[in-house]
Amino acid sequence: MESILIDCVQKSLNHFMHSNAIFISQRLCAHFPSETNLQLLAVCYLQSNQAYSAYHILKGTKMPQSRYLFAISCFQMDLLSEAAAALCPANEPGAEVPNGAPGHYLLGQIYRYTDRRKSAIHHFKQALSMDPLMWAAYEELCILGAAEEATAVFGEAASFCIQKQYINCSTPPNLSAEDCNVAAARHNVSDDVSPRQLRHMQGLKDIAANSHGSSIIGGTSGQLSSSGSSNMSFYNTPSPMATQLSCVAPPPLYRNVMPNGPNLSTLNAENSPKSTVNSIIQAPRRKFVGEGKLRKISGRLFSDSGPRRSSRLSSEASVSANANATVVSGNGTNSSFKGGSKLTPMTFRSMTIRKGQSWANENIDGGIHNDVLDVSRLNITSTTSCSSAAIEAKSYEQDAATLQLGGQVTSESKVITGASEILSLLRVLGEGYRLACLYRCQDALDTYLKLPQKHYNTGWVLSQVGKAHYELVDNLEADRVFSLARQITPYSLEGMDIYSTVLYHLREDMKLSYLAQELISTDRLAPQSWIAMGNCYSLQKDHETALKNFQRAVQLNPRFAYAHTLCGHEYVAQEDFENGIKSYQSALMVDARHYNAWYGLGMLYFRQEKFEFAEHHFRMAFRINPQSSVILSYLGTALHFLKRSEEALAVMEKAMLADKKNLLPMYHKANILMSLERFDEALEVLDELKEYAPCESSVFALMGNIYRRRNMHERAMFHYGIALDLKPSATDAATIKAAIEKLHVPDELDDNL
């Protein structure tokens, strides 16, 4: 009964019938209370956005997979300290992080949001070393500003790591439990022995593809002895197998071992400290079996299993709770295997999930296929993090038959080439993303251009390219690229907040309001939509409504730094400095490298004439984004107000070099020179500047001021006239007219101008 229920839950999850899945798994837990069943129920809750339910049922559980799911629930409920405690129990400092790479990734996120940057970086790097295809971990490292070059990360070691995951090894693994040498374990799928047989032969220990170590097997046996037997008994034991199994010493063990191999069983069997979502595994396996590809298991297998079992049992004993998560995750797990690490089902699962995904795309050893199929299905349902895998898993199911029929052994070389293709793609994307996060935008753009057309012309890449153009203050090009991205993926909100800012800068109110309307109708619950709306109102100078919209964005996702920053801008526009500071600081708490918030704080203090604070904040912004001429010019202005005018002028020179198209540094330079009473130099600069910006009223007004100081009234008058012709603001027009009046009364001293 139990296995039928489990199977039913699996199917419901695979078909996104969440309420059905919840109901059935609740009945399952009521009838067969066990931690693994609780895990399944938790998965159902998490899949239907009821993290709080999962939290309650998993509170206090100890098995690694339970801890992982519990941590996920805590994370979604924003209970970060509990999540961290679940993943890294305080009283077990050396404990293994459950689930390997995803576990490290989650831990990294927790530390990131609790302001422990170094720990976060450490864990993301761990995750990446366990699973080189975990792009999300690399992305986080880039955001934290601690990413290594993509060529190193997605290089040889990574390739080797992936290969180990996917290629069957040809040497039978040692079955000795103690020797969990899964690293070398590569079973010979090319034999006539069916994968199942192989597995049996080698015991669960070496499932090369999945680098499920012997520990798993050991775990299985251990579990068998402890609690999991009930689960075991009903697991997908294909009927022919069943009979065969019955003669084997630890029938449950084999069941697990059966289709989809040992991994599954190990997952189920797990050591007492470890648990796997057995049930999940069961379902796919059964399907697999049911497809009628049962293969005979020679008696030899069974006989082997005897001793193996015992050895496994003993090995299980030796399996420490600190299984090296890396092992399972298959990132360079082999090496970890050598160390006798134990695989945790969790890692296995994560591995398989990944595999599921990649396998969907590549040819893989037939034997592995089977495993993958089931595993992927299993994993998909069991892990909350791989929702996309589910889709692949489903397709897998359909392909299961064909795959099995193919039954071919994918050559090692194909895996190698596949891995290297993926890695070369990730190298380019990773390097581009890393450079963009370091604000080396031109380099990033050049890197992205190396992508093949079919990848370049996707929403994500084009959004990144658009962002890079925006950072280079090339708003027209950014507009073009972003609108292209929208044509290709109109449903994607990634980067649309930046696009709305681009349109804000271009003052395209029609396009901006159209964008905002479209985004809101696509997803009312995305912060980007409300940011676009807010930008729309801000462009109309309706700062109150803009602020409300940005606050809505903050409510929808408090971890979206840009929403906080924009709130800050709106507060400052309304001269509410206190709240402005709070908003900017919130932005920085989410992302300390969000230079816009540093800049916002600098401007705020600048307005309040707290020039030292302003200088400090501009410098912080500059450190993060050293190519921005705007930041440099404000830094220079702040230095000037701090009476460090020589430094200010030097900074202005740098600003001019940083971006030739930015004319403001020249203007500021002239201003500084004027206040230093170096009038001739100032006029020289302005004479040059007026050629580049013949329509800028302030340039001529400033020249008028200088000529007035030099008592060259005619020239002053001339320039004031031009300044007035160029339609300055009413305030400035008044100021200039007043200045003209004063020209007629040269005796009057005017301090204001």
Partner 1 sequence: MSLEMAAESSEGEEEGKLSGGNQVLIVDDELRELGKKAAWSVSSCKPGNGVSSLRDDNLETYWQSDGAQPHFVNIQFQKKVRLQLVVLYVDFKLDESYTPSKISIRAGDGFHNLKEIKAVELVKPTGWLYLSLSGIDPRDTFVNTFMLQIAVLSNHLNGRDTHVRQIKVYGPRPNPIPQQPFQFTSEEFITYSTIR
Closer residue to partner 1 (CB): 254 or 439? 439
Toward partner 1, which CB reaches closer, 433 or 439?
439
Beta carbon nearer to partner 1, 125 or 742: 742
In the bound state with partner 1, the residue whose beta carbon lies nearer, of 448 and 606, is 606
Least distance from partner 1 to the Cβ atom of residue 365, Å: 53
- In the numeric block, the tokens 């402005």 are attached to 580
In this structure, the dihedral spanned by the alpha carbons of residues 385, 387, 388 and 393, taken in order and rounded to 10 degrees, is 110
Q: Which is nearer to partner 1, 328 or 670 (CB)?
A: 670
Q: Helix, strand, or coil here: 207? A: strand
Say how far apart CA 268 and CA 287 lie, in whole Å.
17
Structure-token pair, residue 633: 């010019």
Integer Rg of the chain from CA: 32
C-alpha to C-alpha distance for 389 and 15, rounded to whole angstroms: 13
Nearest distance in Å: CB 606, partner 1: 6
| Smallest distance from partner 1 to CB 56, Å | 43
Residues forming contacts to partner 1 in the complex (CB under 8 A) are 473, 475, 501, 504-505, 541, 566, 569, 595-596, 599, 603, 606-607, 609, 628-631, 633, 637, 641, 659, 661-664, 667, 671, 693, 695-698, 701-702, 705, 723, 726-735, 737-738, 740-741, 753
For the bound state, the minimum distance from the C-beta of residue 696 to partner 1, rounded and expressed in Å, comes to: 4
288 or 504: CB nearest partner 1: 504
Other CB atoms within 10 A of residue 292 CB: 9
Torsion of CA 258, 261, 267, 268, to 10 degrees: -10
Rounded to a whole number of angstroms, the minimum distance from the CB of residue 554 to partner 1 is 16
Least distance from partner 1 to the Cβ atom of residue 143, Å: 19
Where does 195-324 have alpha helices with state H?
Answer: 195-202, 214-225, 229-234, 239-246, 251-257, 261-269, 278-290, 299-318
Name the residue with tokens 């990848």: 455
Q: Smallest distance from the beta carbon of 633 to partner 1, in angstroms?
A: 8
What do you get for the CA distance between the two ends of the chain, in Å? 89
Least separation, in Å, of the C-beta of 734 and partner 1? Answer: 4
Q: Judge contact between 645 and 680, C-beta under 8 A.
A: no
What is 406-442 written as a DSSP string?
H-----HHHHHHHHHHHHHHHHHHHHHHHHHHTT-HH
Cβ distance to partner 1 smaller for residue 235 or 618? 618
Comparison of 101 and 621: residue with beta carbon closer to partner 1: 621
Q: Which H or E run includes 571?
A: helix 561-573
Residue number, 121 or 685, with CB nearest to partner 1: 685
Q: How far is CA 251 from the centre of its chain?
A: 42
Q: Provide the 3-class DSSP secondary structure of residue 139.
A: helix
Helix ranges, 292-411 (H): 299-318, 325-329, 333-338, 345-361, 366-382, 387-406
3-state secondary structure of 212: strand
- 323: nearest Cα among 379, 259, 277, 267: 267
Closest distance between partner 1 and the C-beta of residue 505, in Å?
A: 6
SS (H, E, C) 491-527: CCCCCHHHHHHHHHHHCCHHHHHHHHHHHHHHCCCCH
Q: Which of 155, 213, 216, 158 is nearest to 184 (CA)?
A: 213
Nearer to partner 1, 258 or 631 (CB): 631
Distance CA 704, CA 238 (A): 94
Q: Which is nearer to partner 1, 525 or 753 (CB)?
A: 753
Cα–Cα distance for residue pair 397/62, rounded to 1 Å: 32
- For partner 1, the closer CB: 141 or 481: 481
Q: What is the DSSP string of 720-747?
A: HHHHHHT---HHHHHHHHHHHHHHH-TT
Shortest Cβ 579–partner 1 spacing (Å) = 14
**Shortest Cβ distance from residue 728 to partner 1 (Å)?**
6
Least distance (Å) between residue 737 CB and partner 1: 3
Closest CB 630 distance from partner 1, rounded Å: 5
Nearer to partner 1, 68 or 595 (CB): 595
Provide the 10 A C-beta neighbour count for residue 144: 19
- Of the two residues 524 and 607, which places its CB atom closer to partner 1 in the complex? 607
- In angstroms, give the least distance from the CB of 571 to partner 1: 14
H or E element: which one contains 580? helix 577-590
